[in-house]
Amino acid sequence: MSGLSERPGLWLFGPAALWGAVAIAGLVRTAKDVDAWGEVDRRAGGVATSRACVVCHPAQHASWSATYHRTMTQLAEGTAVLAPFAGESIEHIGFRATMTRGPNGAPHVTVAPVDGGDPIVDADVVMTVGSHRYQQYVASLDRGGGADEKWRLPVAWHIATGRWIPMNAAFLEPEGAHGDAGDFLRHLSRWNDNCILCHNTEPVPGRKDMSGRVEFKSVVGELGVACEACHGPAGGHVARMGDVARRLLAGGGDPAVASPRRLAAREESGLCGRCHGNRIAKDVAAVLTGGDGFLPGTDLAGHSRPIWADSKIGGSDELPFAQRFWPDGTARLSAYEYQGLLQSPCYADGQGLGCNHCHDMHGGSPNMQVRAGRASSGACGECHAMAADHGGHGQAVDCLGCHMPRITYGLLEGMISHRISNPDPGAWIGRHDQPDACTQCHVDRSRTWAAEAMVRLGFNNLGGVGREAAVEEGWGSRVALDLFGGDPVQRVLAAHALTRPGVTMDATVRLAWLVDALEDEYPAVRWAVWRAALAVAREAGSALVAGLEGFDPHADVPTRLRAIDALRAVAGPGPFAGAPERREALIDRQGEVALWIGE
Amino acid sequence: MSPERHLRWSLALAALFLAMGLWLEAMIGLRAAGWVDDPLRREFLRLGHAHGGVLALLNVGVAWALGQLETPTAWAGKIRRATLLGALLVGGGFVAGGLTHGPTDPGPPVLVVPAGALMVLGGVVATALVRPGDRVPGGSR
């Protein structure tokens, strides 16, 4: 011990002092290093992928892993494939789709005419799209666009019902012609320049115009909607954070990635609006070549404009998107939630409420991803301190019931509107082209009743009361009129309204109305009415449950009508049983309000 | 540092970090915001509590061992300072790092943890290796 014994202080404190000096030097060096803190070219570092993010952000990675964003696009392997592919089949307009597995276990779809003939689709599934409402399937098919071309197949798996549906039934369009392959394949759409853009992270369609034909070399940063869809490409951030001292000093965040919670409502909502707000790119050709160019955290308006009812494209005077909005300009389809927010007074031109106020991408249930405490009236209480009797409904109806009514259609469901507004049924007296918040719950009441009730509740500043009602107003409730005489969106929403908890009508009556409305020219409407009828039948404990479970909304017309007649015989009279001419008049109106709403 | 002072300070340090355990338990019971909802902070406060408590008890052991092994006074005094300060830095560094943490990592105070660990390690090794006959230049036993 002679050497050691001569300098006890050096041996005992020297290593610690040396470490301290190194640590302090490292911190000082990093603190002064401009490259460690300043702005960077966020695209230069490329995509890191969620595998890199999990190293430092395990909790956020875990919460994201539980979401439907993660599973938005997946390779068609293992548990990613939700449908059985065990030989199921569906028939629609003269074609039969059969779902099987190939020798290697790969999911396979064959579509062929029912009465014989060559298949019009015969392909292995390579990717899945969606995992919440329904799952779509993508196959590699070279239809003139090269070997990398991929196409969304014309059938999908509806998850809640465990049924296959033709994709034609997922959109609001009239039924195709029997035996017309073109009609059956209406929604056989190319993945490379459609689905890829909003269902993946940092997508690049890679379109190339080759003398007379188009080819694709599509790539994505990561399949599905992963970390960098919201935070931006993180390669530069990962490289920067390789420095331990930089991480220890990271309290102020890193401008190399977007942190939505630090953004103002405009930028924070813009990164959601990229996909939840259909838009028109400033340079469509550039998007199809190299992606949309949008960096989360920057102004979405720099790259595109939201689609509105009066939006035009290509110098045309036509209004191709008008059908997607109600007459007052409110979007009536999903994937327009961003537009609803922009129209809401709470948004305050980007300085007020943003998506993150109500939604939390890293918490709560994956279903709707609502922030804790912000479901129903909890979303409004921070700013709006209302008297307990505001609205006159007590605890039975929350803020959203009146101010964000369920007047949006999407993914075969009725959904809440994201335009926060005040209900004003009186403004629509005499009109039949837009539902109102009141009669979506008071399904047995007319709009005139709703307008008068608003006045009784003390909302005297609303207009319309005293306006002359349409003759049909006296025929039945607003929902009954919409169910038979509304346009396809109104018909779906009327059916949806009849299923909602707390509606003011007996379930057996609602079931009779729905069964009476089961036949419809639009496959998507038939599907919605059938699902509503089945839900109400179960609620009522009806003997019709078995019959409805066996009902196929996409069967051929004679088969459907036979089944509906049998169901009607048990369900009882519909809303216009005593006045069939009124029912006919309303159904005749359906032809005046035809819709073609595709992707 | 005298043996008595070393023992008293070691026990005081043990009491401090044991009391911290009560605080952490109370925060769980009260579902304190910034604790139950902050896994990184929770992890580092627990590390501070556990390391601080165990190293304080280690100091009690070192104090006893220095007497049993008749370690020369010049060495023993410095070993006592090193192990006691090291225990404080390790426990306190974890706690301070957890209280000042960033998005993914503890705060800069956590850098004192390795320094403290080196002191404790040096003190324990020296306790084991230094013999009664070892002297420092110009010093006495």
Mean pLDDT of chain A: 93
Residues 47-76 on A with a CB inside 8 Å of B are: 56-57, 59
Task: Give the C-alpha separation, A130 to A132, whole Å.
Answer: 6
Give the gap in angstroms from C-alpha A201 to the nearest C-alpha of chain B.
Answer: 23
Report the candidate in A95, A104, A106, A97 with the shortest Cα–Cα distance to residue A128. A106
Task: Give the C-alpha separation, B96 to B99, whole Å.
Answer: 5
Mean pLDDT of chain B: 92
Q: A91 and A180 share a domain?
A: yes
For residue A56, what pLDDT is reported?
A: 92
Given the DSSP bridges, would you call strands A189-190 and A200-204 parallel, antiparallel or unpaired?
Answer: unpaired
What is the residue whose two structure tokens read 């954070």?
A: A241
Q: Per the domain annotation, does B141 fall within a domain?
A: no
For residue A599, what pLDDT is reported?
A: 61
Containing domain of residue A77, as a range?
73-216
Nearest to B75 among A8, A15, A249 (CB): A8
Locate all alpha helices (DSSP H) within A301-398, ordered by sequence. Answer: 337-343, 355-358
For residue A597, what pLDDT is reported?
A: 79
Q: A430 and A557 share a domain?
A: yes
Q: How many structural domains does chain A have?
A: 3
Give the gap in angstroms from C-alpha B56 to the nearest C-alpha of chain A.
Answer: 18
Q: A370 and A437 share a domain?
A: no
Q: Which residues pair with A253 in a beta bridge?
A: none
Give the gap in angstroms from C-alpha A1 to the nearest C-alpha of chain B.
Answer: 7
Mean local confidence (pLDDT), A72-96: 97
A508 φ, ψ to 5°?
A: -65, -35
Report the candidate in B106, B125, B108 with the shortest Cα–Cα distance to residue B117. B125
Q: A440 and A559 share a domain?
A: yes
Q: Which residues of B touch A (CB under 8 A)?
A: 39, 72, 74-75, 78-79, 81-82, 86, 100, 102-108, 110-112, 114-116, 118-119, 122-123, 126, 129-131, 134-137
Q: A435 and A396 share a domain?
A: no
Taking each helix axis as running N to C, give the angle between helix A478-485 and helix A507-516, from 0 to 180 degrees, rounded to the nearest 10: 20
pLDDT band at B36 (very low <50, low <70, confident <90, very high): confident
At residue A37, what is the residue type?
A: W
pLDDT(A396) > 90: no
Mean local confidence (pLDDT), B94-104: 93
Q: Per the domain annotation, does A293 fall within a domain?
A: yes
Mean local confidence (pLDDT), A423-437: 90
Q: A325 and A270 share a domain?
A: yes
Shortest CA distance from B129: residue in chain A: A1
Give the gap in angstroms from C-alpha B78 to the nearest C-alpha of chain A.
Answer: 7
Among A2, A4, A6, A12, the strongest candidate for a mutation testing the B interface, having the largest count of B CBs within 10 A, is A12
Q: Which residues pair with A112 in a beta bridge?
A: A96
Nearest to A5 among B39, B122, B130 (CB): B130
Q: Per the domain annotation, does A56 fall within a domain?
A: no
Mean local confidence (pLDDT), A56-71: 95
Tell me the chain A residues in contact with residue B103 when contact means C-beta distances shorter than 8 Å.
56-57, 250-251, 253
Q: Per the domain annotation, does B102 fall within a domain?
A: yes
Q: Is A5 on the interface with B (CB under 8 A)?
A: yes
pLDDT, tens digit (0-9, with 9 covering 90-100), for A320-362: 999 999 999 999 999 999 999 999 999 999 999 999 999 999 9
Q: Is A305 on the interface with B (CB under 8 A)?
A: no
- The three state secondary structure string of chain B is CCHHHHHHHHHHHHHHHHHHHHHHHHHHHCCCCCCCCCHHHHHHHHHHHHHHHHHHHHHHHHHHHHHHCCCCHHHHHHHHHHHHHHHHHHHHHHHHHHHCCCCCCCCHHHHHHHHHHHHHHHHHHHHHHCCCCCCCCCCCC
For residue A596, what pLDDT is reported?
A: 81
A12 vs B119: CB contact, 8 Å cut-off?
A: yes
pLDDT(A431) > 90: no
A12-16, A433-437, A469-473, A529-533: which range is least confident on average?
Answer: A469-473
Q: Per the domain annotation, does A60 fall within a domain?
A: no
At residue A152, what is the residue type?
A: R
pLDDT band at A462 (very low <50, low <70, confident <90, very high): low
Report the candidate in A504, A508, A560, A558 with the shortest Cα–Cα distance to residue A530. A560
Q: Per the domain annotation, does A15 fall within a domain?
A: no
Q: Per the domain annotation, does B15 fall within a domain?
A: yes
Among B104, B121, B125, B127, the strongest candidate for a mutation testing the A interface, having the largest count of A CBs within 10 A, is B104
For residue B135, what pLDDT is reported?
A: 65
Q: A362 and A290 share a domain?
A: yes
For residue A309, what pLDDT is reported?
A: 97
Q: A200 and A299 share a domain?
A: no
Q: Which three-class secondary structure state does DSSP give residue A336?
A: coil
pLDDT band at A388 (very low <50, low <70, confident <90, very high): confident
pLDDT band at A85 (very low <50, low <70, confident <90, very high): very high
A6 vs B119: CB contact, 8 Å cut-off?
A: no
Shortest CA distance from A28: residue in chain B: B108
Q: Per the domain annotation, does B66 fall within a domain?
A: yes
Consecutive H or E run containing A229: helix A227-231
For residue A385, what pLDDT is reported?
A: 86
For chain A, give the percent of residues with pLDDT over 90. Answer: 82
CA distances from A411 to A160, A308, A520, B141 (A): 12, 20, 18, 86
A241 vs B104: CB contact, 8 Å cut-off?
A: yes
User: Could you tell me the pTM of the whole model?
Assistant: 0.89
Q: How many structural domains does chain B have?
A: 1
**Distance of alpha carbon A214 from the chain centroid:** 30
pLDDT(A487) > 70: yes
Q: Is A242 on the interface with B (CB under 8 A)?
A: no
Mean local confidence (pLDDT), A489-497: 97
CA distances from A60 to A56, A565, B73 (A): 9, 53, 54
Mean local confidence (pLDDT), B23-32: 89
Q: A438 and A337 share a domain?
A: no
Containing domain of residue B25, as a range?
3-129
Task: Give the C-alpha separation, A155 to A109, whole Å.
Answer: 9
pLDDT(A465) > 80: no
Report the candidate in A181, A174, A236, A235 with the shortest Cα–Cα distance to residue A37. A236
